[in-house]
Amino acid sequence: MWLAFKLSDKQLYALKIQKSANKYTESAFEEEEILHEVATNYQDPKWVAFLQKFYNDPNLEATKDHTHNLQMFD
């Protein structure tokens, strides 16, 4: 994992470079699938209940930020 600075928008990004061998490619696709699952299920009732208990806030509304999941750009 590398820290990268994108000149066009002046933002910092995490850059992950994946090897092209089949075993690494398969692993990368599995990782992408898991991260997608986490990112899209942030409003699952069990997850929301856990967050509300963890933060001791029964009115907490879960957001994607609560997953601590990074956004994949490309």
Residue-range domain boundaries for the chain = 19-67
pLDDT at 72: 67
Blockwise average pLDDT, block size 10, the chain, 74 residues: 91 86 87 87 93 95 85 66
pTM of the model: 0.59
Distance CA 17, CA 11 (A): 18
pLDDT at 46: 94
- Give the distance from CA 57 to its chain's centroid: 23
pLDDT at 64: 86
